[in-house]
Amino acid sequence: MKKESSAMPHNGNLLEKYIAEQRIVKSHLARRMDITPPSMNLYLTRGSLQTVVWWRISRALQHNFLAELGDALDIAYETKAEAKLREEIAGLQEKIKLQGKEIDEMKVKISVYESIVNK
C-alpha cells in the first residue's frame, strides 16, 4: 500500500517558483489581477490560497495552477477533455486497424494482378 503524503504543496512557493521560472514581473501580475503589489507579496508567503485567488492568478497568467495542484494529489483523475480524446484515439486506432486490413487485401490483389501480367 502506497504511503499517503498529507503535506500540501506550499501555495506561495509554487507561485513564486512559477513567477521566477517565467521571469514574470510581480508588479505587472498584481496590476493584471487588480491588486496591490504588497497583496501579491502576501500571496507568495501563504501556505494556502483560496480557490478564487488561484482562479484569478491562473487567468492572469494563462496557466492552470488548479490542475497543477490536482496533479500533486497523485490521485488518478480524467478530465472530460481527456476522456473525449481517449475515445477519439480508440476510434482512430480502430480505423487504422481497418485500413491496415484493406492494405493487406490490396497487396494480395496487386500480387494476383502482377502474376497475371507477368505470365
4 located within any domain:
no
Name every residue whose Cβ is closer than 8 Å to that of residue 5 and which is 6 or more positions away in sequence.
74
User: Residues 87, 65: one domain?
Assistant: no
8 Å CB contact between 65 and 14? yes
Residue 5 within a domain: no
Q: What is the pLDDT of residue 3?
A: 53
Q: What is the pLDDT of residue 5?
A: 59
Spans of the chain, pLDDT less than 50: 1
User: What integer pLDDT is reported at residue 1 of this predicted model?
Assistant: 46
What three-state secondary structure class fits 101?
helix
**Residue in this structure with the C-alpha cell 513567477, named with its chain if needed:** 19
Residues 100 and 82 in one domain: yes
Residue in 13, 22, 105 with CA at minimum distance from that of residue 62: 22
Is 58 buried (19+), middle (13-18) or exposed (0-12) by CB count in 10 A? middle
Which amino acid makes up residue 112?
A: V
Give me the number of domains the chain comprises: 2
CB 68 within 8 A of CB 60: no
